Amino acid sequence: MDYLVLINRASAPVEHGEGERERLLPVGGTDVFLERQAACALERLMERIDGWRAIVPVSGWRSGKEQKQIWEESLRENGMEFTRTYVALPGHSEHESGLAVDLGLKKDVIDFIRPDFPYDGICGVFRELAPDYGFIERYPRGKEAVTGIGHEPWHFRYIGTPHARILTESGLVLEEYAAQLSAEEGNVERVYRKRATCETFYKMPSGEVPVRRGERTTYRRRCGI
């Protein structure tokens, strides 16, 4: 699976098919599911910070039918402006990929569309460590014109490591990071396949992303597990 896949209003619709549920795992002891590798990463992070004590997974993987229902219900209850700001179009939601999770503080009443996930306390700790486990805050404040979605401090997307840390420290969103990688296609060192695994090696120039040593550093992403 390509964990860097860009999903937004302009992207191709998310494909659903037979066996889709087989690559999902539940998180937080709930009926919220994520793609297997994303779920394992989230559980490791939560175990490190004892996160499930105060945080709950509000929404994870959604079927195309469920995303359509959420869109239509929000239209009826909240109107078009609100819905376009906080709900992705059916077929264009990261939740349909299983790579996105909405998190909220554990409360008696939780807003399904806009759960409370502040920048301090246990939520702040999660946010600080999330990139080391492959997660990014997908829709930060100030990037609404780029992402096409309003500020959503509760929505986290799994893109894997080291990309999550590079993107976060660069102050980019996935649209910008994907464009940067595309511009650097000439710096792809090699791609090879072994069984069901592919590995792509990127050489990223210094000045565009943080590098740890030397003028050029090689980063690796794993996909297709």
- The rounded distance, in Å, linking the Cα atoms of 31 and 46 is 17
Sign of the alpha-carbon dihedral angle for 172, 41, 13, 88: negative
Residue 152: active-site member: yes
- Are the beta carbons of 151 and 139 closer than 8 angstroms? yes
Catalytic residue among 94, 96, 137, 152: 152
- Angle, helices 36-49/121-129, rounded to nearest 10 degrees: 130
- The rounded distance, in Å, linking the Cα atoms of 177 and 170 is 9
Residues β-bridged to residue 193: 198
- The rounded distance, in Å, linking the Cα atoms of 14 and 86 is 18
Q: How many other CB atoms are found less than 10 A from the CB of residue 192?
A: 9
- Are the beta carbons of 60 and 101 closer than 8 angstroms? yes
**Amino acid, single-letter form, for residue 23:** R
- Are the beta carbons of 164 and 135 closer than 8 angstroms? yes
60: exposed, middle or buried (C-beta count within 10 Å: 0-12, 13-18, 19+)?
buried
Phi, psi of 43, rounded to the nearest 5 degrees: -65, -40
Task: Supply the residues annotated as catalytic.
Answer: 152
